[in-house]
């Protein structure tokens, strides 16, 4: 007992999760009357914990140690988001290793882009999306972005090639991620509008009366439609609704429609196509974009007047530097400056990013001294807001907010056969085409033959109104968009500039007006 009591205790040093024993007390040696203190340090070899090697568990530089990942990254396009691309490829390799020959098929497709290749498929998730580093996206978009187009923003910018058998739009259990089985949607070339140098129609037979009757017959409150339940598949090739959509009963909105729109059968109007032009058959969504361009090229001569070339002035469409401008309103008060969109993909959200990001219009930054509690509460629910895409001459609106958005687009209403002022509800997670340049070009070419007023009426089609959280119309207690707490107005610059050039060539209206009328 005396021996153990006199034994020095072993002291320990705690370093994080490592416990290191301290050295024994120094040894004392008397040398020539002095005491010499000698300390011997002996530390055992201790391996640090695995977590200490990598403090950020989300960053894994060891990905490149996988030979397959390193090989596939050799075909990566662009220099941005290196870590994101590594994680996307690593996740893909783990899936493809479970399928015999899949890795070889993908490497062959990437190494020989001009040669035919097989579909490289992965299982489709429940919502169709794949998560890579806290970001979710559609798998074919992710890998087309890695290996072909780094600036790719949306699946609306892609269409399938003839080689793909299990495309994303086919709703099968597998989806092809071979980037060479998809192609980029190109903006179609719109034919010029031929403006007559001299008017050749009798003003008494002008269709201005029909426009006036249409506007006079507008309901006191706009009608309402909900996507996709109220949207019947139209007869035109421009339909953007898949055949599996749960179509409900016809909406009351379809009772008052644009005359002779693709989904209506009304009397003759400036929007009417020739009677001997049969409606094209329904096509799957993947084939529509390519067919639309072809049908536009072949049918453009149908809408041009039979006027000698010397008697008309062709007016070309030109793409502006900013494709749209967005104004924000609270009730009937405009708040803040207009946002001019140069990027083809724009987020309008309720957050507060002050960096002047060209891809975002943050409404949370804007102040208004006249703001009431209803507006404040609505602004808090805007959240991620709406994603606007401009792709291939078409504008899409995707609701990213947890609550619905409400859209009034005359071009969209014309396409679906709704009344011009119908307000369409887009639920969270849904996307709707709200403008089509090709259909607008057809309407403009036809309207030129019916006078200044018919062309001027199309300016209403170039403005789109959109409300967050709160709806308006016949089914809501708010009758007008200016009664909603938070809403935006989108002006489409390309169509407006085209109209401006055409109207400038046409001069002024033929119907007389006096200073005392």
| 84 to 123, 157, 248, 366: CA distances (angstroms) | 21, 21, 41, 33
Query: Picking from 249-263, 364-378, 383-397, which range would have the lowest pLDDT averaged per residue?
Result: 249-263
Quote the pLDDT of residue 409. 96
pLDDT tier at 121 (50, 70, 90 boundaries)? confident
Q: pLDDT tens digits, residue range 182-225?
A: 888 876 666 676 656 554 444 444 444 444 445 445 556 788 88
Q: pLDDT tens digits, residue range 29-40?
A: 554 455 555 554
Question: Percentage of the chain with pLDDT > 70?
Answer: 63
Rounded to whole angstroms, the maximal C-alpha distance in the chain is 132
Quote the pLDDT of residue 156. 78
Residue 14 or 179, more confident: 179
| 168 to 144, 396, 404, 453, 455: CA distances (angstroms) | 13, 18, 25, 44, 40
Average pLDDT for 315-324 = 91
Right CATH number for 63-184 from 3.20.20.370, 3.90.520.10, 3.30.420.40, 1.10.10.10?
Answer: 3.90.520.10
- Which residues in the chain are classed under CATH 2.60.200.10? 222-506
Quote the pLDDT of residue 138. 85
Query: Which helix (H) or strand (E) segment is 496 a member of?
Result: helix 493-506
Tokens of 364: 């949370």
- For the cut 80, the answer to whether the pLDDT of residue 281 exceeds it is no
Residue 81 or 137, more confident: 137
- For the cut 80, the answer to whether the pLDDT of residue 241 exceeds it is no
Average pLDDT for 89-93 = 86
Quote the pLDDT of residue 37. 55
For residue 165, count other CB atoms closer than 10 A to its CB.
14
- For the cut 50, the answer to whether the pLDDT of residue 481 exceeds it is yes
Judge if pTM exceeds 0.85.
Answer: no
pLDDT tier at 299 (50, 70, 90 boundaries)? very low
Residue 473 or 84, more confident: 473
Quote the pLDDT of residue 425. 94
Nearest to 465 by CA among 381, 409, 390: 409
Query: Which helix (H) or strand (E) segment is 361 a member of?
Result: strand 360-362
Query: Picking from 34-48, 169-183, 366-380, which range would have the lowest pLDDT averaged per residue?
Result: 34-48
Residue at token pair 């290196």: 82
- Which residues in the chain are classed under CATH 3.90.520.10? 63-184
Residue 125 or 78, more confident: 125
Quote the pLDDT of residue 137. 82
Quote the pLDDT of residue 193. 63
pLDDT tier at 93 (50, 70, 90 boundaries)? confident
| Coarse DSSP helix, strand, coil percentages of the chain, rounded to the nearest 5 percent | 30, 20, 50
Right CATH number for 222-506 from 2.60.200.10, 2.40.30.330, 3.90.1170.50, 3.40.30.10?
Answer: 2.60.200.10
pLDDT tier at 291 (50, 70, 90 boundaries)? very low
pLDDT tier at 422 (50, 70, 90 boundaries)? very high
β-pairing, 423-426 with 224-226?
parallel
Contacts of residue 239, Cβ cutoff 8 Å, sequence gap at least 6: 233, 282, 285, 288
Query: Picking from 92-96, 321-325, 474-478, which range would have the lowest pLDDT averaged per residue?
Result: 92-96
- For the cut 70, the answer to whether the pLDDT of residue 446 exceeds it is yes
Sign of CA dihedral 268, 262, 474, 330: negative
Residue 253 or 38, more confident: 38
Look at residue 302 and give its three-state secondary structure.
helix
- For the cut 50, the answer to whether the pLDDT of residue 270 exceeds it is no
Residue 295 or 128, more confident: 128
């Amino acid at each position: 007992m005396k021996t153990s009591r006199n034994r020095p205790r072993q002291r320990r040093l705690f370093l994080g999760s490592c416990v290191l024993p301290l050295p024994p007390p120094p040894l004392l040696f008397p040398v020539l009357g002095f005491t010499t203190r000698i300390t011997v340090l002996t530390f055992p070899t201790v391996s640090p914990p695995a977590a200490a090697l990598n403090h950020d568990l989300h960053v894994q530089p060891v990905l490149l140690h996988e030979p397959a990942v390193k090989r596939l990254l050799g075909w990566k396009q662009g220099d941005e988001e290196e870590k994101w691309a590594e994680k996307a490829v690593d996740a893909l390799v783990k899936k493809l290793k479970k399928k015999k020959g899949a890795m070889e098929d993908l490497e062959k497709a990437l190494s020989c882009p001009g040669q035919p290749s097989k579909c490289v498929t992965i299982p489709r998730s429940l919502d169709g999306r794949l998560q890579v580093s806290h970001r979710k996206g559609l798998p074919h978009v992710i890998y087309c972005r890695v290996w072909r187009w780094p600036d790719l923003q949306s699946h609306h910018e892609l269409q399938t090639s003839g080689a793909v058998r299990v495309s994303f739009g086919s709703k099968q259990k597998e989806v092809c991620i071979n980037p060479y089985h998809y192609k980029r949607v190109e903006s179609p070339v719109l034919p010029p509008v031929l403006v007559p140098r001299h008017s050749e129609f009798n003003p008494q037979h002008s269709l201005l009366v029909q426009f006036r009757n249409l506007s006079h017959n507008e309901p006191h409150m706009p009608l309402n439609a909900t996507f996709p339940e109220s949207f019947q598949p139209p007869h035109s090739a421009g339909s953007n609704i898949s055949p599996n959509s749960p179509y409900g009963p016809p909406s009351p909105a379809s009772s008052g429609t644009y005359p002779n729109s693709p989904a209506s059968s009304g009397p003759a109007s400036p929007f009417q196509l020739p009677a001997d032009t049969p409606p094209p058959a329904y096509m799957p969504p993947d084939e529509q974009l390519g067919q639309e361009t072809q049908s536009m090229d072949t049918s453009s001569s149908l809408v041009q007047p039979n006027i000698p070339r010397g008697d008309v002035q062709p007016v070309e469409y030109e793409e502006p530097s900013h494709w749209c401008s967005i104004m924000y309103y609270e009730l009937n008060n405009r708040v803040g400056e207009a946002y001019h969109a140069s990027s083809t993909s724009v987020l309008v959200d309720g957050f507060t990013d002050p960096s002047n990001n060209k891809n975002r219009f943050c409404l949370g930054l804007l102040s208004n001294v006249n703001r009431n509690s209803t507006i404040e509460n609505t602004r808090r629910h805007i959240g991620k807001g709406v994603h606007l895409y401009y792709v291939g001459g078409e504008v899409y609106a995707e609701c990213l907010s947890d609550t619905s958005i409400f859209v009034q687009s005359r071009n969209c209403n014309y396409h679906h056969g709704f009344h011009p002022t119908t307000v369409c509800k887009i639920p969270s997670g849904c996307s709707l085409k709200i403008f089509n340049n090709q259909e607008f070009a057809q309407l403009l070419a036809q309207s030129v033959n019916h006078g200044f007023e018919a062309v001027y009426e199309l300016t209403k089609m170039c403005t789109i109104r959109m409300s967050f959280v709160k709806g308006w119309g016949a089914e809501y207690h708010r009758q007008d968009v200016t009664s909603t707490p938070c809403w935006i107005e989108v002006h489409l610059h390309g169509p407006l500039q085209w109209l401006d050039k055409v109207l400038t060539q046409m001069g002024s209206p033929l119907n007389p007006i006096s200073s005392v009328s």
